[in-house]
Structure 1
Amino acid sequence: MQTILIVINDAPYGSERPFNALRLAIKLNEQEEQSTQIKLFLMSDAVMCAMHKQNPVEGYDIQQMVEIALAQGSEVSLCKTCCSARGLSQELLIEGCEIGTLDDLAHWTLIADKVLTF
């Protein structure tokens, strides 16, 4: 099994980077010819991608995309320091998302076959 780590840094609706990262994660999960494990690590303003009760006015819905990736088997972890700086706690997160640490990111990086950053 191939492990792909995707690190996202931008706010959910400030740029299209989280949208594109999640599109790719979902599409990678849909590939039948190769077994992959997708790991998403959210840092900086990207931790807000994992908040539940998002209500975008129009366009894409980052919460829905995170939920799809989770339902497909992706793991989603958020930087603890980044969450603390933004007042984001576990109870405010989409179910299945976890607050992690830089140690978790370091471990995921070492075991990943590929690392992508957005």
Structure 2
Amino acid sequence: MSQLCFVVQTGPYTYQNLDTAYGLAKAALAKGHGVSLFLYIDGVMAANKNIDAPGERNLAAMLQELAGAGAQIAACGACSKFRGVTEEMYIDGAEMGSLVDMADMLQEADVLVNLGF
């Protein structure tokens, strides 16, 4: 099976990039593929479990679902700190990472999907 890596650079409620990553990652996991997700720049905001999103589009819960299904999720630590998001605020299954972690994810990936500006 393939290993897919998603890099999401945009904020969770600004663009639909995280929704796209979620849908593709969920489908890939269902087919037995490996999935890693690196949240970068404003994308780190999606890992904040304290977001109280109205309606069905709770992106933190969607990320939590991916983590529970086996996706590796890391958020850039420097980006998080600059935005006031601490590791304690992350959803379960997400870890504070660095660009070294992103490089490792990229090296292991067969497919890269970069969702940015």
**Number of matched pairs:** 115
In structure 1, the residue matched to 2:12 is 12
Counterpart among 65, 69, 72 of residue 68 in structure 1: 65
TM-score, normalised by the number of residues in structure 1: 0.91
Structure 2 residue ranges without an equivalent (≥5): none
SS at match of 2:84: coil
Q: What SS is found at the alignment partner of 1:84?
A: helix
Check the 8 A contact 1:4/1:113 in 2, yes or no.
yes
User: Aligned partners of 2:18, 2:60: CA distance in 1, in Å?
Assistant: 11
Gaps of 5+ in 1: none
Measure, in 1, the Cα distance between the counterparts of 2:25 and 2:4.
9
CA RMSD of aligned residues (A): 1.1
* Deviations 1:48-99, CA, capped at 9 Å, x for gaps: 1000122112341101110110111000001111111111111011011000
Match of 2:88 in 1: 91
Equivalents in 2 of 1:104, 1:23: separation in Å?
Answer: 23
Q: Does the residue aligned with 1:94 lie in a helix, a strand or coil?
A: coil
Aligned equivalents of 1:84, 1:10: Cα separation in 2: 16
Q: TM-score, normalised by structure 2?
A: 0.92
SS of residue matched to 2:102:
helix
User: Per-residue displacement from partner, 1:11-66 (whole Å, max 9, x unpaired)?
Assistant: 111111111111111111112xxx31100000011101000122112341101110
